[in-house]
Structures are given as structure tokens and as C-alpha cells.
Amino acid sequence: MARFCPLFSGSSGNAMYIGTAESGVLVDVGMNAKQTNLALAKIGIDPQSIKAIFVTHEHSDHVKGLRVFASKYGTPVYSSPGTLAALDDAGVLNGKFCAGEIASGVEVDGMKIISFRTPHDSRESVGYVITLPGGRKAAIVTDLGIMTDEIMAAISGCDLVLIESNHDVRMLENGEYPYYLKRRILSEIGHLSNDGCAQAVTKLLKSGTTRFFLGHLSRENNTPELAYQNTYSALVQCGAVEGQDFLLSVAPRCNSDKITVF
């Protein structure tokens, strides 16, 4: 059976575990190595069983613990050419672990991982679709200003999707962030709003996705309740019934201690 756990999700740090009973991979290591190890221990995962790390982009909330974790365990790291170049420029790629381009896809311990481009203000950000042994598929889709046709094509039909629901537009517009930061977040290379997320999730439901995690919530411009209600209402308006047609959760910022089996 496939296993998924959002270890951390939010502006303070991001890391997702996807795998099987025997092994798995991480998408991002955005908290320090000690915190990452503690989070893995909470769900009974040995760091040595992590076969690879897939990095979405070079922002610190996605790579803070990458260098130390990958160096300690010799875990191979994969990402886009632009992200790898940015990590190299920042001194993260220290030669103590292998780093390679995701290219057209990578196979790790029976898991097949492909990437797709995401519109974000970084060097070359990507999201990932992981196909587990047995055919189950999970997608990680965060840090995108808009949902593109390319992304939707890549993730449609996945069994489980973690998708960004970063901010409530009204909270952001009326909040204390400086204008330049509001403009960045609301731009097409910023972050996906609750409304944008809800629209995407209704399309994904029609493609066959049944398990949704809302991730990368802003601490200042969103609440778990707002994010959940926005997407839940959109799904119900489509005639879907929770527990029958879909399962919807908000990924916690930290201290997740539950593995979802799908």
C-alpha cells in the first residue's frame, strides 16, 4: 500500500514523505535535519530508508535542512537544472551526496517520479507526481501563482494530491504586509489562493482524485478553517459528498504524526 505524510507544510518549512512499507522519498527538506529526523521518527520511518530527495525549488522553506540531511545519509537529490544551479550557487551541493537532474523522470526503488513546471518566482520551480508500486499516484503542487494547463494535465487522475491553498485574498489585501509583498503573492508567479485552489480541486475530483490535502497555508493571511471551508464548499456545490466521493484535510504546519494509506 502507498503511504503519504506531510511532515511540515507552510512558510516556516516544507517536507513531504511518500513511500511504501519498506522505503520512501522526500519532497523538500525545509526544516533542519534534526527536526526532519524527529518528524520521521514520529511516523516510524528510518531516515536510512529515504531513497531520494526531490526538491521543488531553492527557497529556504524548502531546502533549509537539505545539505545536512543529504550529507549525513548520502541521500541522492534530484531537481530541475535551474534549481540545482541555484543550490550549487548557495553552497548546498557540497559533494557529499549525488545531485542529478530529474529530466524526463527518475525511478527509485520501484517508485517512478516525474516533474512538471510551476509558475513561481524562483530559478526553475517544479512539482512532482510519484507513482508507487501497484500504480497509486500522489502529486505535490505548491508554490504556484496560477494553475496552468500543463500542471492540470500532469496531476489529473492522481489518487492523492497535496495542493497549495496559501492565502485568503481578502485577508491578504487588508493585512499588514507591505504592498510589494502583497503584489508578489497575488502575481502569476506568487502563491495560489484559497479560491484558486478550490477551482482546481473541483476539476481534479472530476478527473478521479479522491484524497486532497491543502498545503502551504500562510500563517498571517489564512486559517486552516478558511482554507478547508473554501474547498469543501466548492466540492459540495459540485454534488460531491465527503467520505463518499472525497476526503479533504489541511496539512499541518508541523508535528504531523499520521501516515495516510491510500
CA distance 204 to 159: 10
Side by side, the strands of the sheet bearing 50-54 are 99-101, 77-79, 50-54, 24-27, 15-19, 3-8, 260-261
Output the pTM of the full model. 0.98
What residue type is 53 in one-letter code?
A: I
**Domains of the chain, with CATH numbers?**
3-261 (3.60.15.10)
CA distance 35 to 33: 5
Tell me which residue has cell 513546471.
117
Q: What is the CA radius of gyration of the chain?
A: 17
pLDDT single digits (tens) 17-75: 999 989 999 999 999 999 999 999 999 999 999 999 999 999 999 999 999 999 999 99
pLDDT single digits (tens) 143-156: 999 999 999 999 99
pLDDT of residue 151: 98
pLDDT single digits (tens) 2-22: 999 999 999 999 999 999 989
Alpha-carbon 137 to chain mean position: 14
pLDDT of residue 102: 96
